[in-house]
Amino acid sequence: MSIQNIAHSQSNLLQEMNKLAGSAEALPVTANPLNQAASLDDHASFDGVMSQALHQVDALQQQADIRQTAVDMGQSDDLAGAMLASQQASLSFSALVQVRNKLATGFNDLMSMSI
């Protein structure tokens, strides 16, 4: 491979990376669903906070599913955006599961305490 071919290949790769970075910047960045739910009201109930977080995680998963379906059906060529939305939904779901597990552990600890 000649130096000109390598330079041309690197130039094409750089252009494609810039294009992908531009499409990733168009994605809305959402904050932690639990923080958003807690900041809605100073006197929010625990049930309300968890319900709001669950709805936000569900919305992220639905958005990721819509983007992935659009890419699969050829309606969109934004594969990077679909993958980022999928990862965002996955991370928010994992965080929600960890909160649930901590709550269950705390509840079990409370129930096993002797009075």
- DSSP structure class, residue 29: P
pLDDT at 36: 54
Averaged pLDDT of the chain: 79
pTM above 0.75, yes or no: no
Domain range annotation of the chain: 30-112
Mean pLDDT of the 60-82 span: 92
Q: Measure the CA–CA gap between 49 and 36, rounded to whole angstroms.
A: 9
Check if the beta carbon of residue 36 is closer than 8 Å to that of residue 56: yes
Residue 115 pLDDT > 70: yes
The strand ranges marked E within the chain are none
3-state helix, strand, coil in the chain (%, to 5): 80, 0, 20
Q: Each residue of 24-70: pLDDT tens digit?
A: 555 555 555 555 544 555 677 888 888 999 999 999 999 999 999 99
| Cα–Cα nearest to 34, from 86, 84, 102, 81 | 102
Check if the beta carbon of residue 79 is closer than 8 Å to that of residue 60: no
Q: Measure the CA–CA gap between 107 and 103, rounded to whole angstroms.
A: 6
